[in-house]
Chains A and B, each alone.
Chain A
């Protein structure tokens, strides 16, 4: 089971990337695929993701702004993938906790990008942070910080 998971994840982790390209639909993660999340790269503890604007995901019908929960899902996934893409062998991660600060509403009609980095790994926990933004990471829509439990391959656990 661990091998299968590693294979699935290996298909989209390990390649650097940029927001210049369209990225790839995150087909390995059902919910991420369902809401149209795209991966632009995940390498050396950094993950780049985006989510196109989608009327179905609106939280406030008056303003047409994406629901905070969508941003939460994006940042959670970005942080988790940054941990997976750190320079150590992992089979899976699970979110332990996640804090999200919302700086301003997302702009109606615009894709939201996320850049996450895993800035510290211990034996069993990975710490990651991320920002969500439209064009400029210095003008964030939201930021996140979280801790993730690490699942290592059995042969490495000894």
Chain B
């Protein structure tokens, strides 16, 4: 039982460190909720995220960035989890706050389905293929209703050795 609590504490600390390590995550104040191995990204609303002040709607670029952050963090988190589960030196690196190199975006396509309203947004990524070199992900963002997504991303990401 004690081992499980320690493992949970180590995971919570690693996720917080990984999130904080990326300045742009901090800038947008993106946070991640963790349920099992699945992350839910949260983007709190702020006035400076608005693209068109007359609607007002979230900036398309912010929504695209939020989806891309979610994809990259899911991949980085999967790597970190695998390293922690492996134990030994790799787990010690994570415990010391050193993470594997961030994956790099190769290409993304974002479809904008509905205007982003001035309220909190959520996103979840699904890894469709985790190859050795390239990963393919789908990400959905929504606000008040999970089944009414505001935007969807699909993208390819290069894994770093």
Q: Hey, which bits of chain A sit against chain B, CB under 8 A?
A: 1, 4-5, 8, 28-34, 55-62, 66-70, 72-77, 80, 92, 94-102, 105
Contact = CB atoms under 8 A, between A and B. Distances in A.
Nearest to B61: A73
Contacts of A101: 106-107
Nearest to A60: B102
B59 A97 contact: no
A58 B24 contact: yes
Given A73-B64, A76-B60, A31 B48 contact: yes
Given A60-B102, A61-B21, A98 B62 contact: no
B61 A60 contact: no
B21 A96 contact: no
Contact of A72 (B26, B49, B65): B65
Contacts of B21: 61
A69 B26 CA distance: 13
Contact of B106 (A58, A70, A75, A102): A102
A30 B112 CA distance: 19
Given A58-B23, A62-B101, A100-B107, A67 B48 contact: no
B51 A29 contact: yes
Contacts of B109: 97-100
Contacts of B68: 67-69, 72
A127 B107 CA distance: 19
A30 B60 contact: no
Interface of B: 21-24, 26-28, 47-54, 57-62, 64-66, 68-69, 72, 101-102, 104-112, 115
A1 to B, nearest CB: 6
Nearest to B57: A94
A62 B110 contact: no
A72 B50 contact: no
Contacts of A60: 22, 101-102
B107 A30 contact: no
Contact of A31 (B22, B50, B108): B50
A4 B60 contact: no
B49 A69 contact: no
Given A1-B54, A57-B27, A69-B68, A102 B49 contact: no
A73 B47 contact: no
A37 B72 CA distance: 24
A4 B53 CA distance: 11
Contacts of A31: 48-51, 58-59, 61-62
A95 B69 contact: no
A92 B66 CA distance: 23
Contacts of B115: 94
Given A29-B52, A55-B23, A58-B23, A69 B69 contact: yes
Give me the 6 closest cross-chain CB pairs, A-B, nearest first. A69-B65, A73-B61, A67-B24, A31-B59, A95-B60, A34-B48
